Amino acid sequence: MPFSPESKIGVVGLGYVGLPLVLAYINKGFNVIGFDIDSAKTEKLLAGESYIKHIPSEAVAAASSGGRLQATTDFTRVEDVDALILCVPTPLDHHLEPDLSFVRSTLDSVVPYLKSGAVLSLESTTYPGTTEEEILPRLQQRGHIPGETVFIVYSPEREDPGNPKFQATNIPKVVGGHTKRCLEQGVALYKAAFEKVVPVSSTKVAELTKLLENIYRAVNIGLANEMKIVAEAMDMNIWEVIDAAATKPFGFTPFYPGPGLGGHCIPIDPFYLTWKAREFGLHTKFIELAGQINRSMPDYVIRKVVEALNNDKKSVNGSRILLLGLAYKPNVDDDRESPSYVLMDKLEAMGATVDYNDPFVPVIRPTREHSQYAGRKSVEISDNYDCLLLATHHDLYKEKDFTSYKSPIVDARNCIKRPSAKYYLA
């Protein structure tokens, strides 16, 4: 069936992926029901408020006041929608293996209420085969016939929070269907909101496409991180080297080093493929090596902090350290999987007292991995610390003048343009 403004769209998971998707369909004239287990999110949306910094409350208020946005924690209302898009987390467990508990619990909550003829699309990043292994049997157990009474598709999210050039609708949308008719319905669903839809032959191909995109980034960031260590040993600035190499108009794409990987994709997605490949007797050595390098970078940065404090005749134990930047990328409030948390963990385990400054994250929200920091608040930048450690390259740090600071500063992003005399590039 074609999708028109009379169709009702449902989106499950109202975070950094789901909320832009909700607004994208509303802006095309659709009525949308947003589902989430967090009542605080649904209540804010109904009040016309945004809880994501780069999404203005004005956009949410316009959608809510216009009557096209509904938000609820009541999953029985899935029976009202013509298409349901799942945007729920797919983290790793402590063994670096896929944790599909959010996908499974969501499916168990929505499948009983999915009406005949509806499209069910999964957007959460996962390993090839998830759609067939997790969604298909649940629908068949309810008596649905894929491609006839329900249409199953997989379409990986490609959100880049805070990117001013690419919003949800102008990023090409890859779609794979379980059957030919599933694909047709999936393409129709996304064509209604996206400028370009890219159909592929199966849900597995679509699932692997997302993994390849992010593995490509993870591997190249791993290379940049390794090159940083080599360049430092040879007394060179790797950022200068990368910028020079980037002047080549072909055959080179710049990637930059950092204190570790962050975000909901790059630190996680490669291990989904590594895990699945073992089922076929394969070992993804290249991917795993890049992962080892990237996961080792916080230790490299900590060694720089130790060096800076030692040169001031101080130890980490007992020192007060100010961490600049908690978000995983600049100028957004997204702190998912941020390496800043790893740096905090390691420094506090060594006996330091760690404060943080990040105007984009004024208060640390509860997280699964670092619940001990919930409620901790951002402090003002000052020179009353034994060391400052810059972990996120927010524009405001580039603009700040640190030249008069007496505290040593460790910069893991080559961000500070006017450093103090005690400046360490990490």
Return the domain boundaries, the chain: 8-200, 243-425
| pLDDT at residue 15, rounded to an integer | 93
- Residue 38, Cβ neighbours under 10 Å: how many? 13
d(CA 343, CA 352): 11
Average pLDDT (64-71) is 90
pLDDT in tens, 270-328: 889 999 999 999 999 999 999 999 999 999 999 999 999 999 999 999 999 999 999 99
Average pLDDT (203-216) is 96
For residue 122, the SS3 value is: strand
| pLDDT at residue 263, rounded to an integer | 78
pTM of the model: 0.91
> Mean pLDDT over all residues of the chain?
94
Average pLDDT (251-259) is 96
> ∠ CA 402-408-409 to the nearest 5 degrees?
60
Looking at CATH, the fold of the domain delimited by 243-425 is given as: Rossmann fold (3.40.50)
Confidence of residue 162 (pLDDT cuts 50, 70, 90): confident
| Sheet-wide strand order for 8-12 | 69-72, 31-35, 8-12, 83-86, 118-122, 150-154, 173-177, 197-200
Q: List the catalytic residues.
A: 265
pLDDT in tens, 15-34: 999 999 999 999 999 999 99
Q: Is residue 188 a contact partner of residue 199, using CB atoms and an 8 Å limit?
A: no
pLDDT in tens, 169-182: 899 999 999 999 99
d(CA 172, CA 1): 22
Q: Is residue 32 a contact partner of residue 26, using CB atoms and an 8 Å limit?
A: yes
For residue 71, the SS3 value is: strand
d(CA 49, CA 300): 41
Average pLDDT (155-176) is 88
Confidence of residue 1 (pLDDT cuts 50, 70, 90): low
| pLDDT at residue 166, rounded to an integer | 82
Average pLDDT (367-395) is 94
Q: What is the CATH number of domain 8-200?
A: 3.40.50.720
Examine domains 8-200 and 243-425 and report if their fold is the same: yes
Residue 3 confidence (pLDDT) above 90: no
Confidence of residue 92 (pLDDT cuts 50, 70, 90): confident
